[in-house]
Amino acid sequence: MRESGGRGQGPGRGAGGAGSQGGPGAARRTSGGPGRAGRQGGSSRSEGTGRPASPENPPRGPREGSDPLDLPFGRDAFRDDDRDNDRDDHRDNNRGRPPQDPGDEGRGRSRQGDGDRGRPREDRSRGGDARRRSRDEGEQPRGRGSQARDESDRPRGAGSRGRGSSAREDGDASRGRGSRDDDGDRLRGRGSRDDDGDRLRGRVQGHEERSRGRTDDRAGTRRDGGRPGGEDPRRRGPQEDVPSRRTPAGRSSAGGSRTGRGGDGPPPRGPRRPPPAPPRPPLVLRLGSPRRRINIGLIGMTFVLSIFAGRLVQMQGLDSKVYEAAAADQRQHTETIQAKRGSINDVNGHELAVTIEAREVSIDPTKVPVSIRAKAAAILGQQLGKSQQEIAEKLARTGTHYQLLARDVDPVVATRLLQARIPALSAKKTYRRLYPAGDLAGSLIGFVGDEGNGLGGMEQSKNSLLAGRDGEQRVETGRDGQRIPMTSSQRTAPVDGQDVRLTIDRDIQWAAQKSIGEQVRKSGADSGTVIVMDVRTAQVVAMANAPELDLGNWRKAPASSYVNKAAADVFEPGSTNKVITAAAAIEAKAVTPDTVYQVPDRIRCADQVLRDSHAHKMEAMTFRQAMAQSSNVATIMAARKVGSQRLYEMLKAFGFGSTPGGGVPSAEAGLLPDYKKWSGSQNCTVAYGQGVSVTALQMASVYQTIANGGVKIEPQIVAGTTDTTGRFVPAPAGKQTRVVSETTAKEIAMMLESAVGAEGTGQLAAIGGYRVAGKTGTADRYDAELGRYDGYTASFVGFAPADQPRLVVLSVVQNPKNGHFGGELAAPVFKDVMTFAIKSKKIPPTGSAAPPVRMRAGQ
């Protein structure tokens, strides 16, 4: 055994341990030489011992939450691995130091464990017996244990506070870690008493029991080699990894207490480090009770399922009928089956307006790829008669799924387009209104809009009769609009419209329209009108306007051409109105055709002077001659004998101021002020047709009444209709009203025949071989746009044959620029139309000659 001291026989945990060779702890090295040997009986100090308690050094208790002894190994590892531990301690303590020569031991640098190696085996085993006794006795030690460790292996690196005592060479009192060797005093530390040893042994025993499970693992780790460098995990403390600090005296603060090689006194002690913080216990996630989670989940599921169950009960039980109806409405779609519109025919059955089958071509722009749009636009534009740019713009509107390309497309063209396989192109079956005669009676017939409703003329006035009643079909369709096979359907058959047969004769209409059109162009007039009427029935045979509406291109025509001027335009009739004054005077027996008047060329009426139709000297005229030469002054003289009231009543009886019946579209009533409101001059001007307003249809009706022997018949434009079986049903005859006596009517007719004679103003209306009666008219024209009189209205109206009247023809030229007299502009139109109508109707001449009459006074 070496004198420098080493381990005792036991770990040096109490006074009962052997430790006669210097105690269980390593001798503390001093600068003077080797450390003193520990005293026998446990002069070393265990880890739990310390200096005596004092105010400067209060007693320490065990660290909270840590092992009282903090032993890294159990009793088996301690007993079996003593020798290995000594060698490891030696390596750990000398790690990082330069190699030592053998002479170092004499200078107090002896290695730890040398005492154990030089100690007999029985001394070493004695310490093991002491440990076993401590474990068996089960006493609870008050210190931290007396196992001796090398200072370099202490976990806290707190200088000389090892687990054994260290003697100091300079004789200083031990600071609770051992006894002084020179005076033999008892250890003042806790490990110097027997009772303290007992308590120490109990503490060791309790610690070993708690750390029994990990001792073998740590020992096994060390036996297997431990960490690189020979470090012993059992001997490393919490601050093992802290690097060593050098004090000014050459003492390591972390690797153990060591004096300098030439120092005389003890090395200075560094500041005491606080004990390491206890390791935090691992976080333990405490899970709730599984039963509670399951119960909560079941409650939630029950709540959700109850909501679904309630909703199902509501939908399938309470509201089942509502949802069933809603589902049916989604599947069922109502398709309108368009009824075929009835046709409009002339009196002989010739079609003036007819309905044919057509297609409505549309496309879904969203389904047309961009790459083929240009090609598709070119094909569609060429076939539909539209510009390629217009079609391309419609194909580019991808914000909608429906884009109408064209209506009224011929079925052959639509089939050709469908064969071109243009994506999303569809053709719907529709009907197209076709007008074979073009502009023939255009404004009278009217036209049909895009929605299938009449917008003018007969198309509008007889729309309900012509349109019929559309049918419908309820079918079930899918998402793509295709009909679902084998599903129920409800179909209501459409009722086609009825055909309307007019009183218009297509041929006479053409002749009238041609004649007035030419005269309007020649005279530079604004417009012209021709009406041909059957005397015996008052049926309108022709009703022509110039310019006429082209029904094939009505969308581009001006709005003024939509109006049927023959029935809607109101104008002052002028001299053609003198027949009513003559009828009132003759009917009142105030005058006769042979009554002579001294007629000047002007006459004062109230505050105005009215002039005759032409300047002349005072002249004696019969009333027949005044009518033939259209004398305004002679007419005023005859009207004064009648009076304003009777004249007004006669005008009313002939239809002035009231709308003519018979279903003529756009017919107006004209303007007939009450005689009580007539001005002073108006009492005179009304007699020759100024101050009242009529339509061409009204004036034609006046002459029809004279030609018909004084019986007025409401003008008729509709001859009849065809029922659903195709059978023709004639229209009821117009209302008949006697206005004047037959004698009066014949006398007036003879007076009108004189107006077309050699001395009359209507010579240009004469027709060879036929007796013609008629009257010219020239009136100042009131321009509503200007708000004053401007221009003239030239007119002529008559009938033929005069002795057996069959037809009445009226021609009116509005605001002509080349001439303005009715005998010059309107009479020739009358002649052309009457001649054609007579031949068309195959009306033969009567063969009789006009009876001689007295034209001038004195004859």
* Catalytic (active-site) positions: 575
Three-class HEC string of 251-267: CECCCCCCCCCCCCCCC
- Cα separations (Å) of 334 from 158, 471, 601, 793, 802? 102, 10, 77, 56, 62
Both tokens of residue 648? 């007004």
Judge whether 441 and 434 are in contact, CB under 8 Å. no
* Cα–Cα distance measured from residue 165 to residue 27, given in angstroms and rounded to the nearest whole number: 7
Three-class HEC string of 798-823: EEECCCCCCEEEEEEEECCCCCCCHH
* Cα–Cα distance measured from residue 8 to residue 39, given in angstroms and rounded to the nearest whole number: 10
3-state secondary structure of 543: strand
3-state secondary structure of 776: strand
3-state secondary structure of 357: strand
φ and ψ at 116, to 5 degrees?
A: -70, -40
Judge whether 495 and 471 are in contact, CB under 8 Å. yes
- H or E stretch covering 216: helix 212-223
Judge whether 190 and 143 are in contact, CB under 8 Å. yes
φ and ψ at 409, to 5 degrees?
A: -85, 140
- The single-letter DSSP state of residue 141 is -
3-state secondary structure of 528: strand
Alpha-carbon Rg of the chain, whole angstroms? 70
One-letter amino acid of 612: D
Half-sphere exposure of 476 (CA within 13 A, CB side): 10
Nearest by Cα to 566 from 696, 439, 458: 696
- Number of H-type helices and E-type strands within the chain: 24, 21
Both tokens of residue 813? 């030229």
One-letter amino acid of 95: R
